[in-house]
């Protein structure tokens, strides 16, 4: 069975990919500098190389014997990217250029890349398609778009997967793989840890949406990784495809809170707060291309995402 290099394989999404790839019989090499990932999230069947994308020699040795790369590694906090744009460009864009150079030297021409809905910026379309204008509004989104363009220029077999809001968790043979970011900024983990003393801040209740709160498209991390495995099988020589991954429908912040209350069997303390800078009102993916190109259909609903997140956090 083929060997896959998973960069960022110690993070929330990358570690889930690593475990599911190992379940499917792939040999996985994880490349992660552990700056935000966790060594204990890396599946015991994988080989962990602790190194940075900024280290070309480490990349060259990690790639030996690999058939393809799934590239998750990178800095991923929108707010931090606004404060430190050079850091985001350096790690994400320069780091990926090192990876592409090392792949070219090693003769490896297959990559599946973790891109983002942040490449689109303020949406002009609802739902957002892969043809929608990409005009990022923060350095994080700009770095993902720059990488997408670099991959196109490299002329290799590639699929960039543009994630919308990823949630839920996977129970691997080594246990649950929870979302554990520090700081945590994502809605569902914050809803689950809200208390009366530290209520969930609802960022804006005056948006032009059905209940005044922002609408996002949530997709279960296990469905998301299934799309990566399908993408590995859908790579075509010298073609770079861009594919959105979401569920194709949206939930408001208040709907996420209501679903969480249903799962938890208790009230979630909240406080109405000002809008968060840079948030668009509505972000919903068109997933027609994911269906037609990859044969992918997400199957896990919002309640499953929330209940799996709960199970993963209480282990
Ligand atoms: N959100 C919120 N309170 C929080 C965190 C997030 O109201 O403490 C809202 C946020 O404004 C957005 C949605 O929840 O509309 C999802 O935010 P998240 O940071 O999870 O993902 P993003 O859409 O920014 O990638």
Residues with CB under 6 A from ligand 1: 165, 185-187, 190, 200-203, 214, 216, 253, 276, 279
Ligand 1, residue 256: give the atom nearest the CA. 14
Q: What is the pLDDT, as a whole number, of residue 230?
A: 98
For 124-167, how does the pLDDT look when each residue is reduced to its tens digit (9 = 90+)?
A: 999 999 999 999 999 999 999 999 999 999 999 999 999 999 99
Question: Is this model's pTM higher than 0.85 or not?
Answer: yes
Class of domain 172-215+250-282: alpha beta
Q: How high is the pLDDT of residue 1?
A: 58
Instruction: Check if 140 is active-site.
Output: yes
Rounded distance from Cα 272 to ligand 1 centre (Å):
13
pLDDT, tens only, 173-217: 989 999 988 899 999 999 999 999 999 999 999 999 999 999 999
CATH topology of domain 3-169+219-246+288-298: Rossmann fold (3.40.50)
Q: How confident is the model over 38-93, as pLDDT tens digits?
A: 999 999 999 999 999 999 999 999 999 999 999 999 999 998 999 999 999 999 99
User: Residue 315: is its pLDDT beyond 80?
Assistant: no
Spatial contact of 95 and 33, defined as CB atoms under 8 Å apart? no
- Name the catalytic one among 12, 26, 140, 163: 140
Ligand 1 pocket, mutate which of 136, 203, 213, 280 (most atoms under 8 A from CB):
203
92-124: per-residue pLDDT in tens?
A: 999 999 999 999 999 999 999 999 999 999 999
Query: What's the mean pLDDT in 278-292?
Result: 95
Q: How confident is the model at residue 20 (pLDDT cuts 50, 70, 90)?
A: very high
Distance (Å) from CA 186 to ligand 1 centroid: 6
Buried b (16+ CB within 10 A) or exposed e, 50-63: ebbbebeebbeebb
Instruction: Give the Å distance between the CA of 279 and the centre of ligand 1.
Output: 8
Instruction: Tell me where in the chain the CATH 3.40.50.720 domain(s) lie.
Output: 3-169+219-246+288-298
Average pLDDT value for the chain:
97
Contacts of 72 (CB under 8 A, 6+ apart): 6, 7, 8, 9, 11, 13, 14, 17, 114
> Is the pLDDT reported for residue 220 higher than 90?
yes
């Amino acid at each position: 069975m083929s060997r896959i290099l998973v960069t960022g394989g110690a993070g929330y999404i990358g570690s889930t990919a690593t475990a599911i790839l190992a379940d499917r019989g792939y040999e996985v090499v994880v490349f992660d500098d552990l700056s935000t990932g966790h060594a204990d999230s890396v599946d015991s069947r994988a080989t962990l190389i602790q190194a940075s994308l900024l280290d070309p020699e480490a990349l060259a040795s990690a790639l030996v014997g690999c058939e393809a790369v799934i590239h998750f590694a990178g800095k991923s906090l929108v707010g931090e990217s606004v404060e430190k744009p050079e850091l985001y460009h350096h790690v994400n864009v320069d780091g990926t250029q090192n990876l592409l150079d090392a792949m070219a030297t090693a003769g490896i021409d297959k990559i599946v890349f973790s891109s983002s809905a942040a490449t689109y910026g303020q949406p002009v379309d609802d739902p957002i398609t892969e043809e929608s204008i990409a005009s990022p509004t923060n350095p994080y989104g700009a770095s993902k778009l720059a990488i997408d363009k670099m991959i196109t220029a490299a002329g290799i077999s590639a699929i960039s997967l543009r994630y919308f809001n990823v949630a839920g968790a996977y129970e691997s043979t080594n246990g649950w793989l929870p979302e554990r970011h520090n700081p945590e900024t994502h809605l569902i983990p914050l809803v689950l840890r809200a208390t009366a003393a530290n209520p969930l801040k609802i960022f804006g209740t005056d948006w032009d949406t059905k209940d005044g709160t922002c609408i996002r498209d949530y997709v279960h991390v296990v469905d998301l990784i299934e799309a990566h495995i399908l993408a590995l099988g859908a790579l075509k020589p010298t073609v770079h495809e861009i594919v959105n991954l979401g569920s194709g429908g949206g939930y408001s912040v208040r709907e996420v809170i209501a679903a969480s209350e249903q799962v938890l069997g208790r009230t979630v303390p909240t406080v109405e707060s000002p809008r968060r800078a840079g948030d668009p009102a509505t972000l919903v993916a068109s997933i027609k291309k994911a269906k037609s190109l990859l044969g992918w259909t997400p199957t896990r609903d919002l309640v499953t995402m929330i209940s799996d997140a709960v199970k993963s956090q209480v282990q």
